[in-house]
Structure 1
Amino acid sequence: MAVAHARPTESADLLRRLIERGDAETEHRSRLHLLAAASLQYATEIEPAVRKLVEHHARVLMPPRSPEEATGLAALGPGILDLLPGPEDLEYDEVGAVIQTAATIGGDHAYAFLSNFTQSLSSGPVPYELVNGWGNFESLPYAREILLPVKDRLTLVVNTNDQRNALQALKPILDVNFGEAFADEEIIEHLSPEHTQRLRIDAGSLLADLQFVHRLPALRELTLSECSQLTHIEDLAGLPLTSLSLLRFPDAVSFDALALLPELSELSLYTRLPWNRLEEMPAPPGLTELRLVRTIDASLEGISKWQLLEKLVINSGPTPAEWREISSLPKLTDLFISEFDLAQATPMLNVTRLQLSVTDTDTQIHLIPYIFPNLRSVLINCYNFLSKNIDITPLKQIEDLSISLQYANSVIGLEEFDTDAIQRYPRPRKTGA
């Protein structure tokens, strides 16, 4: 960078020009301001006024609040690490983004930052960004020094043989996700039969059967994806699984063994089903949570046979008849849905928690108070929203409602609500940032 080799007055001029250019160019403002901040360490002498100006702009943009901001920061290089704060007093949307920034940068400086950061993390869940950063460092030291202190508070993610072997340093293994293809013996080798409760296999192409699962007597939650060699799941019959997720299975696979999982309460099906309607699905009657992807290619007809359902996730808009059947579920309190048409929906008095993924310019927010009059919380994800504005004013009709907005860049009606009633992710920056 030119600032590193400039004379003091030249350094000050360069930094000042970066700030001024950032003020003028809205599109690149954040990047230019942060570039100026990262350059401070290379400038030998800077006028106090210039340093104060640069640091002011950096503070406005720190800490990062989203994966997108973290990616942009990491692209500026190791100089950014000196500007990143520790975990103390960080907000809910900042901890993970700070970790992602450091892990993406990599190197010894980033490793030291993450090690210190982890030691200062308070109790509670650990952001997945910490284990996601594993791949940017040497596996065994990262496992021992960074993951080990918090291993019981996160899902371990294994993508390489080095990471798989490093599991020995993290025993007992409670919760693990194999993100790449491994044979059954490789999966089981470093697990803890009496302790492993949750297992996720994202690339099951090397699995010829599921017999190995019987060697994990403590297992209660299992996710299987892309198991291209399997023709059935009968090896799971009789296991005390409480949660099962099946993703991207081959067509014509038999799921009849669902009827032989007596303790199953949570079922996720993100794959094509061999039945025309849910009424034919042999899942046990004790289901309390059901998640369905649009590509199941089956009607929701028959969903009411699971009378204990409390949570339902569907990724395709129900027909009017399906809406009516969903509304008849007596215990349903949580509904998550995308590709929806609320104009076809039946009022649901029991639903208190709603999550909508907006994919159309018509958000239909004005229909929410009518369809869900007893809501306590609503989350609206606008990540794929085509419009620039979202109007939440109609939600004022529901008393004491907590509202979460994700990736809502322009919101109309905020002044109608108490500030503590609305949570935004990522939180918007102040004007000028």
Structure 2
Amino acid sequence: MVKITCCSDSKVNVIVYIIVILFGMGSWVAVNGLWVELPIMVPNLPERWKLPSYLTVIIQLANIGPLLVTLGYLCCKNKVNEKILIYSILLIGTLACVLLAFFWDTTAYVFGEEHSVALFALDFSLSVVDCTSSVLFLPYMALFHVNYMTALYIGEGLSGLLPSLVALGQGVGKVSCQNLSIVNETTNISSYHVQSIYQDVSFPVEYFCFFLCGMMLVCGLAFTLLNYLPYCKKEHLTQKACTGTELYEFNNKAESSVKKRSNNISPAQIAFYLSLITVINSLTNGILSGIQSYSCLPYGNDAYHLTVTLSKIANPVVCFMALLLPVTSTILIASFVTMGTGISVYIILMASQSPTPWMYDEPVGPPLMISAWVVMGSLMTFSKVSIASVLRQEGKTALMWCGAVTQIGSLIGAIISYVLVNVMTLFESAPVCS
């Protein structure tokens, strides 16, 4: 049996560790994959570049899934069967990916306007699956030693990285601009305009959806191996079937053990950390997600695509850095969030000036905007991981509140983004070619 020794002097089975990573990769792969595929979808859908703001709201509405599971834990903790629920959401996610391949561009008229109803419905299903995985995968991992928890987080990071890499290979968003001459038959005067021509990608959206389906199947296979393969079951903390009662008792013991090692963070500090988490998620998961196209497209289609892809790549890298270089200083964490918020303000200001923001026609403009998004995302991700590590010292209750304000902040940001983009129409899309 291949083992490695971690810093806590506990041995970890390398093969089981990799299987846990594969299991974690199914957590957000569908939503992340759909997001990086938007440059191909948008030209074929009626919402055009308002589509991200719609999808942001849909993702937040999908929090009904984790809410119901959380209520189940609180009201019927002895009857919640994580295994059945995980298999259920993986099945729903797999079927939704298959249906997405066939119906992603199906539209219908709603209240007199054409909308991508099939995409919205399937995105809601995938979002429910991914959001609910956050409150199911973590309790399930209590069956394993705590060192295997890092494998789950690495898998979650890869759930954003792998679809981005596949999208890069697909050639998402490559556009060529062509000058066209139009002759007015009445005046016989020629006029010129620039037309954007989307280049053929390596494979269509349908194949990408089947890739996402394959990722969900890999997650389900990994989960099955962790449950029933004797080689993996040797790494279980108990050989008994993990019922809801046993898991609840195990979590209580673990929480008591954590509290003994607590640094006695004051309630004011906890409230401050939770407020930072609210701000971070309101910006990253809500406001900025809805206006990303308005901030990046004025600098070119390549700038938009690189921003989305590099941000996904930076996420797991920053999570790994947070494990190697843990930060517990309140002042330092607050400084990171402040810097990230300042960069966010810059991004919002540039989006409000679309289609002609500052330096949009200068060579330094695109690298500056791409760097702003990557640095902002890195600062916010590092801060979130650091805050979660600090709150972990206060036990399960503090982490529960951390998860709650994460969803509250994301919902607030999504509502603000929707109002600004679709109600107040403060942002104007930039043409791909100018």
TM-score (norm 2): 0.19
**Larger RCO: 1 or 2 (CA < 8 Å, sep 6+):** 2
Larger Rg: 1
